[in-house]
Structure 1
Amino acid sequence: MKTTVVLIISAIMSCGLAVLSPKSLAAEPIELEGLIEPYLVVNVGSSVPGILDMVKVDRGDLVKKGQVLARLQDKVERANLALARARARMKSTIAARRARLDYAQRRQQRMESLFKKKAIPFEEMDEFRTNTVLAEMELADAVENIGLAELEYKRSVEVVKRMTIYSPITGVVMERFLTAGEYVEDQPVLKLAQIDPLNVEVYAPVEIFGSIKTGMQASVIPEAPIGGSYPAKVVIVDQVVDAASGTFGVRLEIPNPEYQLPAGLKCVVVFAQPR
């Protein structure tokens, strides 16, 4: 038995083969297959139910964050807004109540001097004092009503704003679900994708767990006919291994400011290992 083992070792050495150490294996580049995906996919709908008045974009259109995408019919809401604005600007009631209070205060002062001289009875003096108090309360009520009208105006402004659908991201329209004239409530109107940067999702075998770390640089080679090589950085390394497949997830980011790369491509990711 010992003779057989010696003969096998001699045969391996005579063929010029050598056993690779773990360090030499770690120095080899790691190549894995991956999939290029959008950085973010968003279903955009309305926060309030209503009938779509217009949808200003369609599939394939580029959109910017804050851009108007669609608008619901809002004639009633705008009429309520105009009414609330008019009420909030009505200052005549306050002016009238303030003038009445000034008059009541002046009259009370005159009557106070007469009351001190006992020229008028207490009942009459009490009436003037009560009229002044009532005038003060009426003025306070008018001021409060204007405050409520201003709050109602602000609420109406927000209601009208909610009738307009804005883009939450800068990206591209993936799909349009509804068009003008259709009722929207709980369903999305559009699906948007942010494609700068792009994500690359890779599933690596558990044997190389620990070799790939966040912050590592890699090269992404998309499938034909796109081709080329694009720099990417590891941003996520899953710390939980999938027992069924014996793999763990890795996510990389690729800058894509000019939208040169489309999402949905298969690719090969090459991780350059430090030697």
Structure 2
Amino acid sequence: MRSALFKSPSILVMVGLLTACGGKKDDQKQAAPPPTAVSVAKATKQTATYYDNYPATVTALREVEIQPQVSGNITGIFFDDGQRVRRGQKLYSIDPQQYRASYDQAVANLNVQKANLARAQKDADRYTTLAQQDAIARQVLDNSTAELEAAKRQVDAAQAGIRQVGTNLKYTTIFAPMDGTIGISQVRLGAAVGPGGAVPLNVVSQDDPISVDIQVDESDISRFLMLQSQKNNSRDSTFVFELPGGERYKYPGKIQIVDRAVDPQTGTIRVRVSFPNPEHRLRVGLNGNLRIRNSTNQPQLLIPYQAVTEQMSEYFVYVVGDSSKVTQKKVTLGSRINEKVIVKDGLKEGEVVVTEGTQKVREGAKVKVSNERKSE
């Protein structure tokens, strides 16, 4: 009995220690980290006006290669490289001597054939009169008639020869096919040239108006056809071209052409937008950015772009839910509008997203809202 009494205090002490230790562990489990202070914004729907951006290249609405039609040596160049030229302006001359000699020979041949025709006509007239008097055999008249027809055909052939050599002689002088800007000459005085050369003598480009080419996704074809059908307002700013460096070109554009076919490899179609170019600032081959205004009649869901985080080319936002806990949601984004962005999928109107402090929170973390603003 005594031993039992002596053991009781020890047992009580051990129980007390265990109880105390257990209480500390429970306190540690119950002690949660304080909520993270974040800024938030509410997703709201608004009618959005924004610009879609497309890489663009300046091209000529019309461009003509200057190719020689006859062979010979260049004897004259009548322009300065890069200058403005007018349709019909003299550009090049090719040595015409051999073609002029051929022309003179063809003219002489025509005169000979005309003389033969006159003689054959007189013989046929005379034999016709004699035949009416039964003074000659019928075969003589037939022969003279056949010779007359042959002389006529010889005259026709000689005239065709004159046209051919005359055309060659005309081609020894090359004229500008249209108004535009001519490039740097690819040949010099004395150079031998001929038809079918791999490199043209030069190129003339129409540069006012001038065009800008972009590639658009096949899903946007209907939109661009609609834009093409709309009446253009000279003050409209639907199409804005940005020069290299970000400078905005001061003249607005309009759709000139939507190409006839989609590229099966890329799934895109070429769209050509024309711009006035009275100061000739836009040059063929210049690369820039075409901004196309996109004004939707349907409200779009907008949030601050600051709320978006990117992971492996996918986009996420933290949404503040019940009990101030955050949940990460994957979203599909549309166009960016200044500091905001359109959310196409993954978020509902009225949901609250974290805009500042996203790097401090994790899935299921509790947050404390320090301020809240609408996505306006």
The normalised TM-score by structure 1 is: 0.72
1:193 and 2:214 aligned = no
Shift of 1:18: 0.8
Render the CA deviation track for 1:189-227: whole Å, top value 9, x for unaligned: 1133221222223356x6984685143541223346975
Q: What does residue 99 of structure 2 align with?
A: 77
Structure of higher CA gyration radius: 2
Out of 137, 140, 144, which is 1:131 matched to? 140
Gaps in structure 2 of 5+ consecutive residues = 1-34, 229-237, 297-376
Out of 148, 157, 160, which is 2:157 matched to? 148
Matched residue type, 1:106: T
Q: Is the 8 A contact 1:104 1:128 kept in 2?
A: no
Task: List, as ranges, runs of 4+ consecutive aligned residues in structure 1 with deviation greater than 6 Å.
Answer: none
Q: What does residue 213 of structure 1 align with?
A: 224
Shift of 1:133: 2.2
Q: Is the 8 A contact 1:74 1:160 kept in 2?
A: yes
Q: What does residue 354 of structure 2 align with?
A: none
CA distance 1:266–1:132, shift in 2 (3 Å): closer
- The structure carrying a bigger strand percent of its residues is 2
Correspondence list, 1:1-275, <5 A: 15-18=40-43, 24=47, 27-89=49-111, 91-110=114-133, 112=134, 128-185=137-194, 186=197, 187-203=199-215, 209=220, 213-214=224-225, 215=227, 217-223=238-244, 227-234=248-255, 235-236=257-258, 239-240=262-263, 250-257=271-278, 259-275=280-296
CA distance 1:144–1:271, shift in 2 (3 Å): same
**Distance across 2 between alignment mates of 1:178 and 1:145:** 41
Matched residue type, 2:56: G
Matched residue type, 2:176: S
**Distance across 2 between alignment mates of 1:274 and 1:252:** 19
Matched residue type, 2:130: R
Shift of 1:39: 3.0
Q: Aligned-residue CA RMSD in angstroms?
A: 3.6
**Distance across 1 between alignment mates of 2:121 and 2:221:** 78
- The structure carrying a bigger helix percent of its residues is 1
Render the CA deviation track for 1:229-253: whole Å, top value 9, x for unaligned: 221123337744876xx98754321
Shift of 1:264: 4.3
- Matched pairs, number: 246
The normalised TM-score by structure 2 is: 0.55
Matched residue type, 1:272: R
Identity, in percent, stands at 22
Gaps in structure 1 of 5+ consecutive residues = 1-6, 113-124
